[in-house]
Amino acid sequence: MKNYILAIESSCDDSSIAIIDKDSFKCIFHQKISQEKEHSLYGGVVPELAARLHTKALTNILKECQVFFDKLCAIAVTNEPGLSVSLIGGISMAKILALSLHLPLIAVNHLKGHIYSLFLENKLKFDMGILLVSGGHTMNLKIDEKGFIHILSKTLDDSFGESFDKVAKMMNLGYPGGAIIESLAQKASKKDIHFSVPLLHSKGLDYSFSGLKNAVRLELLKYEQIDENLKSEIAFGFEECAISHILNKLEKIFAEHKFKSFGVVGGASANLKLRQKLMLLCEKYNCELLLAPLKYCSDNALMIARAACDSYEKKEFVRIEDDILSPKSKHFDRI
Ligand code: KG4
Ligand code: ZN
- Ligand 1 contact via 113 beta carbon (within 6 Å): no
CATH 3.30.420.40, the chain: domain bounds? 4-118+298-313, 126-291
Best of 298, 303, 304 for a ligand 1 pocket test (most atoms within 8 Å of beta carbon): 298
Determine the distance separating the centroid of ligand 2 and the alpha carbon of 56, expressed in angstroms.
Answer: 21
Bridge partners (DSSP) listed for residue 234: none
- Ligand 1 contact via 168 beta carbon (within 6 Å): no
**Considering the entire predicted model, what is its pTM?**
0.96
Distance (Å) of CA 12 to CA 124, 156, 159, 236, 251:
26, 21, 15, 28, 31
Confidence (pLDDT) at 328: 66
Q: Mind listing the pLDDT tens digit for each residue in 279-289?
A: 999 999 999 99
Could you give the dihedral angle defined by the CA atoms of residues 107, 113, 119 and 121, in that order, rounded to the nearest 10 degrees?
70
- CA pair distance 221, 276, nearest whole angstrom: 32
Residue 236 is which amino acid? F
- Ligand 1 contact via 43 beta carbon (within 6 Å): no
Determine the distance separating the centroid of ligand 1 and the alpha carbon of 330, expressed in angstroms.
Answer: 23
Residues 6+ apart with CB under 8 A from 217: 170
Q: Is the pLDDT reported for residue 331 higher than 80?
A: no
Q: Mind listing the pLDDT tens digit for each residue in 153-176?
A: 999 999 999 999 999 999 999 999
Confidence (pLDDT) at 222: 97
Which superfamily, per CATH, for 126-291? ATPase, nucleotide binding domain (3.30.420.40)
CATH number of 4-118+298-313: 3.30.420.40
Determine the distance separating the centroid of ligand 1 and the alpha carbon of 16, expressed in angstroms.
Answer: 16
Which residue's CA is minimally distant from atom 7 of ligand 1?
A: 135
Ligand nearest to the CA of 298: 1
Which residue's CA is minimally distant from atom 2 of ligand 1?
A: 267
Determine the distance separating the centroid of ligand 1 and the alpha carbon of 285, expressed in angstroms.
Answer: 27
Look at phi and psi of residue 257 and say left if phi exceeds 0, alpha if psi is from -120 to 50, else beta.
alpha
Q: Mind listing the pLDDT tens digit for each residue in 85-124?
A: 999 999 999 999 999 999 999 999 999 999 999 999 878 8
Q: Packing angle between helix 160-170 and helix 210-221, nearest 10 degrees?
A: 10
Q: Mind listing the pLDDT tens digit for each residue in 226-280?
A: 999 999 999 999 999 999 999 999 999 999 998 999 999 999 999 999 999 999 9
Bridge partners (DSSP) listed for residue 5: 20, 74
> Edge-to-edge strands of the sheet including 105-109?
27-34, 14-21, 4-9, 72-80, 105-109
**% of residues, the chain, pLDDT over 70:** 99
Atom of ligand 1 nearest to the CA of 272: 26
Residue 246 is which amino acid? I
Residues 6+ apart with CB under 8 A from 308: 5, 7, 20, 22, 74, 76, 106, 108
Pairing of strands 4-9, 14-21: antiparallel
Q: Mind listing the pLDDT tens digit for each residue in 67-79?
A: 999 999 999 999 9
Bridge partners (DSSP) listed for residue 29: 19
Q: Are 204 and 171 in contact (CB under 8 A)?
A: no
Determine the distance separating the centroid of ligand 1 and the alpha carbon of 14, expressed in angstroms.
Answer: 12
Using a 10 angstrom Cβ sphere, with 0-12 exposed, 13-18 middle and 19 or more buried, the burial of residue 271 is buried
* Mean per-residue pLDDT of the chain: 96
Residue 172 is which amino acid? N
Confidence (pLDDT) at 44: 87
Confidence (pLDDT) at 126: 86
Look at phi and psi of residue 195 and say left if phi exceeds 0, alpha if psi is from -120 to 50, else beta.
beta
Bridge partners (DSSP) listed for residue 260: none
